[in-house]
Structure 1
């Protein structure tokens, strides 16, 4: 068993952008894990309808 590892997990989330409004998208989280306990999120990104990968900072969770 490794002491420190990096895991990638994808889940569906509701997002909001001014142009599209509310929509559901798959958001992938890359987390640093020590002894099976998640310590911090290193990066999170989402894939658009056209296959383009975007950072999650461009869309808000609320209006």
Structure 2
């Protein structure tokens, strides 16, 4: 039985960029879990409309 596990999860979220406005995009979270309880988000990134991978720091959450 593993005590510490790293899991990858993809969600669809609303994001906002100044150039494009509001958009729906797939955001992938890489999280560290201890006993199946999420402890820390290690990294998160998103896939663009054209299939490129970008860091989520370039856009904010939509209000």
Looking at structure 2, the residues matched to 20 and 35 of structure 1 have their Cα atoms a distance apart, in angstroms, of 40
- C-alpha RMSD of matched pairs (Å): 1.0
Equivalent pairs, count: 63
SS in 1 for 2:44: strand
- Deviations 1:7-48, CA, capped at 9 Å, x for gaps: 000000000000000000000000000111100100000000
Aligned to 1:38: 38
Runs of 4+ with >2 A deviation = none
Q: Is the 8 A contact 2:44 2:55 kept in 1?
A: yes
Structure 1 spans left out of the alignment, 5+ residues: none
TM-score of the aligned structures, taking structure 1 as reference length: 0.95
Looking at structure 2, the residues matched to 62 and 5 of structure 1 have their Cα atoms a distance apart, in angstroms, of 31
- The answer to whether 1:53 aligns with 2:53 is yes
Looking at structure 2, the residues matched to 9 and 30 of structure 1 have their Cα atoms a distance apart, in angstroms, of 7
